[in-house]
Structure 1
């Protein structure tokens, strides 16, 4: 039996882990960390830094090479194939390090339930014959960090909030029936497709970290600043994790 704990680690600041998460990491038989190539090597380094800070005794840590997703063809099929490949990589590590079962921990950026596929991959592993119990230990999400950094509420008074992706915003525009949208997983500044009038944006990258970057203002003014700053930060760090909230004026 594999007891899998999926731990939300927010944006990588060890101070944002819950006490429950720290306890679970210290009770683990194995902590499994993905490597995503040299361009994102500091992402793996951040996970290692978290382990170094919160582990109070030696815990076995194993790293594996994260499969690369095919960016061509049908998007959903490519993602499903990618998830199968990740599940196979997990299975290989479990066979090597936990052949008799044990407590396995995976550290998940943001939150395992919010635009993250770790739970879907775990389901594929169970469907493939691995006997497993899955627990989720939520952490601080990037949305919480964004609203806290800007000292704003998530929702307007009696207003609705929609959480969406850059891909959907670019394809479908502003979702109907909502005053506020939070956009995640946006690799290309999808807010450019919107008419900026009456829209305010609050943006943040590397939230809660030493090099946190923030911008906000009317979309027509702040949008170009965000685009330029994203390019600068990506060039500097080799990767970027950002999220933004946009709100339409209520009439």
Structure 2
């Protein structure tokens, strides 16, 4: 399992203007780091998880390409969740991005779309070699990029944190965490169905309390 994002950006131009890169791609990198905290808190997974920040995505995915060249033997059966531009405050769908040769019927993409549908998430598809999923797909490794495909401010000084939407980030988290947990904790019933387990526990406690109160009244 690989969870990734790219961390390169323009920075400062010759005039000293700062390009913060909040959406592209501080949002994706921050998302990846927070996901690492979440998964660590759940205990030991059933499979290894790599958290990777790739460089030079803007120059042809050089970082991810080099990583695959070096480690392909070890990661050929991985599933890759890449995050690029997560959290736009414009009302746009969550984008499931595959490579240009993928389709809506590509198994990995289809499995993610089913999660979106089950959670009633507003989403669409994009099939382009325009983020680090490209490098993995060229080697036939399952990979997608989650993206809010909002091009209105990226690569400009206006791409600042005040245009980031927490509900949009949560939307992505609801889908991605579900898929990642299913892949990495597939044998742990409590983690996979913690909401259901919590609800059953609450119901059990209420029933026990009700029966206990009735028995004390009758004695």
Query: TM-score, structure 2 length as denominator?
Result: 0.29
Higher RCO, 1 or 2 (CA under 8 Å, sep at least 6)?
2
Structure with the larger helix share:
2
